[in-house]
Chains A and B, each alone.
Chain A
Amino acid sequence: MSKFSIDIPRPNFFKHRTIAEDSILVTVDSGEWAILSSKEFECLCHNDYSDPGLREKLYESHIYLDKNNWDSYIETMAQRWKEVFTRPTLHIVVVTPRCNLRCIYCHASYQQESNSSMSIETASKVLDRIFEVAPENFAIEFQGGEPTLNFETIKFMVEKSKELTEKYGKKVNFTIVTNFTSALTDEKMRFLIENSIDVSTSIDGPQFIHENNRNRNYPGGFSILCQKVHRFTELWKEIRDDEPRLSAMLTATKPVLAYPRETVDTYLSLGINDIFIRPVNPLGRGEQDINELTYPIEDFLEYWERVIDYIIELRGKGFSVAETHLVILLRKIFFRENTYMDLRSPCGASFGQRTYNYDGKIFTCDEGRMLEQEKFCLGTVDVKSSSINSSKNGIHTFISSLSELSYCEFCVYKPFCGVCPLLNYKTSGYTNTTIWNSRRCKLYRGMFDIIFRKFINEEKARKVFGDMIIESI
Chain B
Amino acid sequence: MILTCHSKVVSKEGILLFSQRHISEFNLHVIPGKGDEILIDIKLIKDDIDLNEADLNNELLECEFLAMRYKQTEDLRKAVVALILSENRLSQENSHE
Chain A residues with a Cβ under 8 A of chain B: 2, 4, 6-8, 10-15, 29, 45, 65, 73-75, 77-78, 81-82, 85-87, 132-133, 135-136, 168, 384-386, 406-407, 409-410, 435-438
Residues of B15-49 whose CB lies within 8 A of A: 17, 20-25
The smallest beta-carbon distance between B46 and chain A, in angstroms, is 12
A sample of 20 inter-chain contacts (CB < 8 A) reads A6-B79, A7-B75, A11-B73, A12-B76, A13-B70, A73-B80, A78-B87, A78-B90, A82-B89, A87-B93, A87-B95, A133-B97, A135-B92, A136-B93, A384-B97, A407-B21, A407-B23, A410-B70, A435-B24, A437-B25
| Chain B residue nearest in CB terms to A404 | B77
- CB of B82 closer than 8 Å to a CB of A: yes
CA distance A111 to B82 in the complex (A): 49
Task: Given A4-B83, A407-B21, A436-B24, check contact A12 B93 (CB 8 Å).
Answer: no
Query: A436 to B20, Cβ gap below 8 A?
Result: yes
Give the size category of B's interface with A. 20 to 34
B24: which of A6, A73, A85, A438 is its contact (CB, 8 Å)? A438
Task: Check if B54 is an interface residue, CB within 8 A of chain A.
Answer: no
Most buried by A among B80, B87, B97: B80
B92 CB contacts on chain A under 8 angstroms: 85-87, 135
CB <8 Å contact, A81 and B90: yes
Contact call B95/A4, Cβ cutoff below 8 A? no
Closest CB-CB distance, B42 to chain A, in whole Å?
15
The contact string, 1 if C-beta is below 8 Å from chain A, for chain B 55-88, is 0000000010110011001011101101110110
Q: Are B23 and A435 in contact (CB under 8 A)?
A: yes
B90, A82: Cβ atoms closer than 8 Å = yes
Q: Does B8 contact A (CB under 8 A)?
A: no
From residue A167, how far is it (CB to closest CB) to chain B in Å? 9
- A13-B77 contact, Cβ under 8 Å, with A78-B90, A436-B22: yes
Q: In the complex the two chains form, is B23's CB within 8 Å of A436's CB?
A: yes
Indicate which residue in A6, A12, A86, A410 contacts B66 across the interface (CB closer than 8 Å). A410
Chain A residue at minimal CB-CB distance from B97? A132
Q: Which residues of B contact A436 (CB under 8 A)?
A: 20-24
Chain A residues near B69 (CB-CB < 8 A): 11, 13-14
B97 touches A410 (CB 8 A): no
B79 proximity list for chain A (CB < 8 A): 4, 6
Q: What residues of chain B lie closer than 8 Å to A75, measured between beta carbons?
A: 89
User: Residue of B at shortest CB range from A131?
Assistant: B96
Chain A contacts for B17, CB-based, 8 A: 407, 410
Determine how close the nearest CB of chain B comes to the CB of A405; give it in whole angstroms.
Answer: 11
A6 near B73: Cβ-Cβ < 8 Å: no
* Cα distance A4–B82 in the bound complex, in angstroms: 8
**Roughly how many angstroms separate A85 CA and B92 CA in the complex, as a whole number?**
9
* A384, B95: Cα distance in complex, Å: 13
Q: List residues of chain A with CB within 8 A of the CB of B84.
A: 74, 77-78, 81
- The interface residues of chain B lying within 8 Å CB-to-CB of A7 are 75-76
Question: When the two chains form their complex, are residues A6 and B75 in contact, meaning their CB atoms are under 8 A apart?
Answer: yes
Most buried by B among A45, A74, A410: A410
Contact between chains at B20 and A2 (CB < 8 Å): no
Neighbouring B residues of A82 by C-beta, 8 Å: 89-90
Contact present for A386 and B83 (CB under 8 Å): no
Q: How far is the CB of A165 from chain B (nearest CB, A)?
A: 13
What's the least CB distance linking B67 to chain A, in Å?
8
Q: Given contacts A81-B89, A436-B24, could you give 15 more A-B pairs where the C-beta distance is less than 8 Å?
A: A4-B83, A4-B86, A6-B79, A8-B76, A12-B73, A14-B69, A74-B84, A78-B84, A81-B84, A85-B92, A132-B95, A384-B97, A407-B17, A407-B23, A437-B24
